[in-house]
Amino acid sequence: MGDRTDINTNTNTNISNLDTGLDQSCNTVWKKILTANVLLFELYERDLAAADLPPLAWYDVLWSLEQAPEQRMRLHELAEAMVIQRSNLTRLIDRLEAKGLVCRHTCTVDRRGAYAAITDAGKLKRQEMWQVYSRSIAKYFAQHISDQDLEVFDRVLNQVISHARAEY
């Protein structure tokens, strides 16, 4: 990586001198990414709650299922798509099923496996949630970033995700 200019102090930091292998610029940007993630998700959750809607994780499940072929997924595939632990997903699916938003089906090929499928009520709930969630994305994120910055974000995040998935 070589020398980088520190984003906060504009001083050069040689990463070969650091125990972590990261320079201050990387650490600063990484902390900002984590902070933005937490703040934005808290705002999205707040807006959903104010509209008397379920939490964002519910939306994530419903959207993933609605986008899947035949609008269903095996639970391990859903867990991978959402980056959530299987045990947490099982409890979340239990709650969604109790509300009639998803249903489970036994896999005909592998009886040990199960599918989660979105119901019509689940589709309606996801659409209702999207009305609030999309306004929140626009308000807290999209209106504060230029098209050019968005292209840079997209390119950089695609690189990071691609490399992380290769290690996964």
Query: Taking a C-beta distance cutoff of 8 angstroms, is the pair 64, 73 a contact?
Result: yes
Domain count, the chain: 2
My answer on whether 69 and 125 are in the same domain is: yes
Q: Which domain holds residue 14?
A: 1-50
Query: Taking a C-beta distance cutoff of 8 angstroms, is the pair 116, 76 a contact?
Result: no
Q: Which pLDDT does position 17 carry in this prediction?
A: 47
Phi-psi region of 12 (alpha: psi -120 to 50; beta: other; left: phi over 0): beta
Residue 99: inside a domain? yes
My answer on whether 125 and 75 are in the same domain is: yes
Of the two residues 160 and 20, the one the predictor is more confident about is 160
My answer on whether 37 and 3 are in the same domain is: yes
* 16 pLDDT more than 50: no
- Rounded to two decimals, the pTM is 0.80
My answer on whether 44 and 98 are in the same domain is: no
Instruction: Give per-residue pLDDT as tens, 107-152.
Output: 777 767 789 999 999 999 999 999 999 999 999 999 999 999 999 9
Q: Which pLDDT does position 72 carry in this prediction?
A: 94
Mean per-residue pLDDT of the chain: 87
CA distances from 74 to 9, 119, 125, 137 (A): 49, 15, 21, 29
Helix (H, G, I), strand (E, B) or coil at 153: helix
Instruction: Give per-residue pLDDT as tens, 42-77.
Output: 999 999 999 999 999 999 999 999 999 999 999 888
The first and second tokens of residue 36, run together, are: 């933005």
Q: Which pLDDT does position 107 carry in this prediction?
A: 76
My answer on whether 123 and 60 are in the same domain is: yes
My answer on whether 112 and 76 are in the same domain is: yes
Residue 16: inside a domain? yes
Residue 150: inside a domain? no
Residue 161: inside a domain? no
- Please state which of the ranges 32-41, 86-95, 128-137 shows the lowest mean pLDDT: 86-95
Any idea what the Cα angle at residue 21 is, between residues 18 and 27, rounded to 5°? 90
CA distances from 8 to 22, 30, 31, 126, 144 (A): 15, 13, 12, 41, 21
Q: Which pLDDT does position 84 carry in this prediction?
A: 67
Q: Once rounded to an integer, what is the mean pLDDT over residues 79-104?
A: 87
* 10 pLDDT more than 80: no
My answer on whether 73 and 18 are in the same domain is: no
- Please state which of the ranges 3-7, 94-98, 159-163 shows the lowest mean pLDDT: 3-7
My answer on whether 58 and 127 are in the same domain is: yes
My answer on whether 98 and 127 are in the same domain is: yes
Give the CATH number for residue 117.
Answer: 1.10.10.10
Nearest-angstrom CA–CA distance, 139 and 95: 29
Nearest-angstrom CA–CA distance, 109 and 76: 15
